[in-house]
Chain A
C-alpha cells in the first residue's frame, strides 16, 4: 500500500526508488490511479483517465528496469497531459463541446517524447475550453466544469491548464503537462502551490497540440519542484521536423543535470518594481519575505523595471486575431455557440474584425519590445516578480468584472517567448498558496531553473501539502 507521502514525493525522489527497485512503477501507477479515480471527479481534474495505457506502460517500465535497462529519471513516473495534446486513440476534446468526440490517430510529439523516456500516461487533464481561446467569463468554462483547487475546493485552480494544476497539487500524478499562451502555466502554478515552467517559445514542439495562437503558444510542465520541471523539460524539449516553429537542434535541445550549476557564474538578479500595480496584502507579505531570501542568496540583487509601452495591447491583438484564424471554421459555422461560456460563444466574432494592418502593427511593437528586453537582459540574467498579485479566487467569480488588473510582465514574457518558472513562496492566512516567478532571456531556461532551484533549496513552501481527504 503506497501512502500519500509517497505520492507527494518529487520526481527526483520517486526516480531514485524506482531505479533502486524499491518501488515499482506498477504499484505507483495503481496508487495514483486509485487516488485519481477517488479525488479526480471531486476536483474536476481529469477529462479522461487512461488506466489501460497506464497499466501497460507501467508494467513495461518495470520489466525493462528489472532487466537493467533504466532509461532515466522519468522512467516509470506517472503523469497527466492537458487535453489538447493528441494521444492516439484517446478522445482529445480541447475542453470544448464541439470537439467532444474528437480522436486523433497519432501522438503529439510531447507525448511521444515522454513515452520514449518511459513515463506513464495516467490520463488527460481537464482544461478551459479551447484554452480560453474564445474568451471566458467563468471558471466553469470547461467540459468538466470548474477545476477545484485542492487547497480549498471552493476556489479555482486558474486556467487554462486548470486540471493540470489540480492534478499536481492534489498528488493525482507526479507531474502534468500544461500549455501557456498568456498565464496558463504561471497562474495555475501560483494558485495551486506547485512549480510551473513556461519554456522559451520554440523549444518544445507543438505538433499534435491544439493551436490557439501560433506565435505565442508554449508547452511546459507543472510539477513539485523546479528541478522536477527541469527533468521533464529536458525530456520534451527539442527540434521537431513536424513543427516548423521549433528552434534549430542546438537551440531547442535541453539537457539538465544539477551538477551543471556547479561552478556556474553567479546570476545577476533584478527584482521588478513595476510588474504589478498592486499586490494583495497577503501576497505582498509573502513576496516581501521571498525577496529577502532572494537578496540573501543572490548577492548583488538589484531593483529592475520593465520598459513601458502598449505590450498588453499588442499581445491581446496578436492572440485575438491568431485565435480567430485558428478557429475560423468554428466561428463561421456557428458551432462556436456550443461552447459553455457565454463570452466564449461570441467573443470570436469581435476578434475576427481585427484588421491586417493592426495585426502587423502589433508585430512591429513586439519587435521593438524584444529589443528593449534584450537590453534589459544585458544587465540582469533573471528578473523576479510575484507570480500573481492575488491568491486563488472563488469558483463563481465573474472573471470579466470582478478580476481586473494589468499584467505587463505576462504580456512581455509571452510576446517575447521568454522562459519563466513559478514556484510557491508562501500562503495567505486562509491557507492559499502564493507564487514567485523567475524570468530570463529567450533561450536561457537554465537561468530560471537555477534561480528557482536555489530559492527552493532555502525554502520549503513547495513541500507543503493540502489537506485533501
Chain B
C-alpha cells in the first residue's frame, strides 16, 4: 500500500461532491487518537470514523474555533442534535485542509482560476484623433 493509499484509506462517496469535510482523507489511526482531549466533555465527543487521523494541537484548536464560530452565528436556530453533528462535521473538515496545507506549493504557483477580461471595448473602432483638427487651425 502506497503512502497515498494510506492517507486516502476511506472516503465518503456521496458527500464528497458536496461537503469538503466529507472528502476528508481519513488516515490510519484510531478514533480515540483523533478525538481532541480538550474542549468537549466525554458525553459530547463526536462519533468519528475508526481511522480518523490524529490531529495536531493547532488543528484541534481550529476545529474548536470553527465549531464555535458556527454556534455563535447560527446556534439559536440549531437543535442539540444538529449542534453535535456540526461538531463532528467540524472535525471531518480538518484533514483535507491539513493535507492541502502540507502539499508543497511555491509563491509563484498560480491558482487555476482565471478571469476573462471584458474585451468589448477592443472591438469598437478607435475614436478619430483630435490632432488633425487642431493641426488644421495652425497656419
Smallest CB separation, B53 vs chain A (Å)? 12
Q: B86 contacts A367, CB within 8 Å?
A: no
Asked if B35 CB lies within 8 Å of chain A CBs, one says: no
- The distance in angstroms between the C-alpha atoms of A321 and B113, with both chains bound, is 14
Which positions 38-82 of chain B face chain A at CB distance < 8 Å? 49, 66, 69-70, 73-74, 77-78, 82
With a CB–CB cut-off of 8 A, which chain A residues contact B24?
Answer: 313, 316
Q: A334 contacts B74, CB within 8 Å?
A: yes
List 24 A-B pairs, Cβ < 8 Å: A132-B17, A135-B18, A136-B14, A137-B15, A159-B14, A181-B17, A308-B3, A312-B25, A312-B96, A313-B95, A316-B19, A321-B20, A344-B18, A346-B78, A347-B19, A347-B22, A349-B70, A350-B86, A361-B100, A361-B101, A367-B109, A367-B110, A368-B109, A400-B14
Asked if A43 CB lies within 8 Å of chain B CBs, one says: no
Binds B, one of A6-14, A60-68, A106-114, A404-412: A404-412
With a CB–CB cut-off of 8 A, which chain A residues contact B112?
Answer: 363-364, 366-367, 370
9 residue pairs, one from A and one from B, having the closest CB atoms: A320-B20, A363-B111, A316-B23, A182-B17, A399-B14, A313-B96, A367-B112, A135-B19, A316-B20
With a CB–CB cut-off of 8 A, which chain A residues contact B78?
Answer: 346
Q: B105 contacts A364, CB within 8 Å?
A: yes
Asked if B10 CB lies within 8 Å of chain A CBs, one says: yes
Interface size on A, residues (CB 8 A): 64
Nearest CB in chain A to that of B96: its residue:
A313
Nearest CB in chain A to that of B95: its residue:
A313
**Of A184, A277, A346, A358, which contacts B86 at CB under 8 A?**
A346
Nearest CB in chain A to that of B116: its residue:
A244
Q: B10 contacts A404, CB within 8 Å?
A: yes
Interface residues on B, range: 35 or more
Asked if B97 CB lies within 8 Å of chain A CBs, one says: yes
Q: B105 contacts A399, CB within 8 Å?
A: no
- The distance in angstroms between the C-alpha atoms of A215 and B103, with both chains bound, is 21
Q: B93 contacts A358, CB within 8 Å?
A: no
With a CB–CB cut-off of 8 A, which chain A residues contact B3?
Answer: 308
Report A165-200 CB contacts with B as 1/0, cut-off 8 Å.
000000000000000011110000000000000000
With a CB–CB cut-off of 8 A, which chain B residues contact A363?
Answer: 111-113
Q: B15 contacts A343, CB within 8 Å?
A: yes
**Of A136, A310, A410, A411, which contacts B99 at CB under 8 A?**
A310
- Residue positions of B touching A, CB distance < 8 A: 2-5, 8-26, 49, 66, 69-70, 73-74, 77-78, 82, 85-86, 89-90, 93, 95-97, 99-103, 105, 109-113, 116
Nearest CB in chain B to that of A342: its residue:
B85
- The distance in angstroms between the C-alpha atoms of A182 and B116, with both chains bound, is 24
Asked if A315 CB lies within 8 Å of chain B CBs, one says: yes
Nearest CB in chain A to that of B102: its residue:
A310
Asked if A53 CB lies within 8 Å of chain B CBs, one says: no
Q: B77 contacts A334, CB within 8 Å?
A: yes
Q: A316 contacts B22, CB within 8 Å?
A: yes
Q: A215-B113, A313-B96 are in contact. Are A346 and B89 (CB under 8 A)?
A: yes
Q: A308 contacts B2, CB within 8 Å?
A: yes
Asked if A424 CB lies within 8 Å of chain B CBs, one says: no
Q: A312-B8, A313-B25, A367-B112 are in contact. Are A134 and B18 (CB under 8 A)?
A: yes
Q: B20 contacts A351, CB within 8 Å?
A: yes
Which positions 345-363 of chain A face chain B at CB distance < 8 Å? 345-347, 349-354, 358, 360-363
With a CB–CB cut-off of 8 A, which chain B residues contact A367?
Answer: 109-112
**Of A133, A323, A365, which contacts B100 at CB under 8 A?**
A365
Q: B10 contacts A405, CB within 8 Å?
A: yes
- The distance in angstroms between the C-alpha atoms of A315 and B19, with both chains bound, is 10
Asked if A454 CB lies within 8 Å of chain B CBs, one says: no
**Of A136, A310, A362, A408, which contacts B15 at CB under 8 A?**
A136
Most buried by A among B8, B23, B24, B93: B23
Asked if A314 CB lies within 8 Å of chain B CBs, one says: yes
**Of B14, B86, B89, B103, which contacts A310 at CB under 8 A?**
B103
Report A280-324 CB contacts with B as 1/0, cut-off 8 Å.
000000000000000000000000000011101111110111010
Smallest CB separation, B39 vs chain A (Å)? 16
With a CB–CB cut-off of 8 A, which chain B residues contact A361?
Answer: 100-101, 103, 105
Q: A323-B18, A358-B97, A365-B103 are in contact. Are A403 and B13 (CB under 8 A)?
A: yes
- The distance in angstroms between the C-alpha atoms of A368 and B5, with both chains bound, is 20
Smallest CB separation, A354 vs chain B (Å)? 6
Most buried by A among B22, B97, B103: B22
